Amino acid sequence: MTITQLEYVIAVDTYRSFVTAANKCFVTQPTLSMQIQKLEDTLGVKLFDRSHQPVVPTEIGEEIIAQARVLLAESEKIKEIISDRQKELSGELKVGIIPTVSPYILPKILNGFIQKYPQVKLIVWEQTTEMIIQQLKLGTLDCGILSTPLHESSLTEIPVFYENFVAYASKNSKLYKKKTISPDDIDMEEIWVLNEGHCMREQVLNICQRRKATKGFQHFEYNTGSVETLKRMVDMNNGATILPELALAEMSDKQRDRVRYFKSPEPAREVSIVMHRNFLKRRMIEALRAEILDFVPKRLRTKKKKEIMEI
């Protein structure tokens, strides 16, 4: 049994294809297949059911592959020990980030991080929470920047900041006429929300759970994954929406006049860096966390007088 064989097995499990796995491992498909066959012969069991397309692990294969992931993670720690002895951070850091956080964080911290750590290659994917969780478990991402808590026992969460939610209302909205608001003031019939699959949608619905929507005919239903689009829908089509506070940074004075804050305790979301429980690249992840904290306003670093919305 070799580490290379375990890498090949994990690649096939991750991509569910011998051809794709071989490409990702930079070897030919016959070479990868032969090494996996050797490992199966050594163990005396079949790891994959090749009659299925896509390829799936056998029952015992699932257990062995799970243990192989642990073994590979532990072997990578040897490289990390050496890296920790070096003064300069280097290597790749693969990060997943949800779309409702990305535009308000990444542009602000990217240049600073690159200048401080020129030997680190930051690779970022903007994805939904569900996709990031899946890739963290598979080991194809080093960390994710997500709204938490996730209640996933296989993942480790390090809270970074606690971002308040605010209302953004058109002049014809009842919310516009108030100085501060409470969840009971919200009429769900006039609220623009993100489509399903975005954790912020669930948090907004949790804010509004005390106020049931009145029954009425709705002439239009709009599905979007963009917070900025929600803002524009209010600007152009009336109604109201709920925004994360960092989305206010680049608003005009006219737009800021439409913002209404919640009474204490203010609804908020916890944003964390999330890793697999056997995570690696600790120094790089900590450097990323520090860069985000340097940007985030002090008031968002505490959860006092805030009510954290569940996903």
User: Which residues make Cβ contacts (< 8 Å) with residue 39, sequence separation at least 6?
Assistant: 1, 5, 6, 9, 47
Residue 120: CB atoms within 10 A of its CB come to: 19
Residue 150 half-sphere exposure toward CB, CA atoms < 13 A: 26
d(CA 16, CA 133): 18
Neighbours of 57 (CB within 10 A): 20
Question: Which phi and psi angles does 136 have, rounded to 5°?
Answer: -65, -40
Class of domain 164-267: alpha beta
CA distance 61 to 64: 5
Domain 88-161+268-308 fold is D-Maltodextrin-Binding Protein; domain 2 (3.40.190)
For residue 174 the two structure tokens come to 């009842």
CATH 1.10.10.10 maps onto the chain at: 3-82
Q: What pLDDT sits at residue 167?
A: 94
What pLDDT digit, counting tens, does each position of 209-254 carry?
744 444 443 444 556 678 888 888 898 888 899 999 999 988 999 9
**Which candidate, 131, 129, 128, 150, places its Cα nearest to that of 140?**
131
Which of these, 231, 229, 215, lies nearest to 170 by C-alpha position?
231
pLDDT tens digit sequence for 86-115: 667 888 899 999 999 999 999 999 999 999
Crossing angle, helix 3-15 and helix 29-43, to 10 degrees? 110
pTM summary value: 0.78
Q: Residue 126 in contact with residue 99, Cβ under 8 Å?
A: yes
DSSP state of 67: H
Q: Where are the alpha helices (DSSP H) in 139-221?
A: 199-207
Bridge partners of 146, per DSSP, are 272
Residue 218 is predicted with a pLDDT of: 46
Separation in Å, CA 83 to CA 89, 212, 231, 290: 7, 55, 45, 19
Q: Are 105 and 145 in contact (CB under 8 A)?
A: yes
All CATH 3.40.190.10 domain ranges in the chain, comma separated: 88-161+268-308, 164-267
Residue 177: predicted pLDDT: 92
CATH 1.10.3720.10 fits 3-82, yes or no: no
Cis (ω within 30 of 0) for the bond into 149?
Answer: yes
Q: Which pLDDT value is given to residue 219?
A: 42
CA atoms within 13 A on the CB side of 94: 12
H or E stretch covering 92: strand 91-97
Q: Label the pairing between strands 266-276 and 180-181.
A: unpaired
Token output for 152: 């996933």
CB 193 within 8 A of CB 156: no
Please report the pLDDT score of residue 105 as a whole number: 94
Amino acid code (one letter) for 36: I
Q: Which residues of the chain register pLDDT less than 50?
A: 210-220
What is the C-alpha separation between 113 and 292, in angstroms, rounded?
Answer: 9
In order of 191, 258, 285, 301, the CA distances from 254 in angstroms are 20, 7, 38, 28
Cβ partners under 8 Å of residue 280, min gap 6: 73, 76, 77, 80, 142
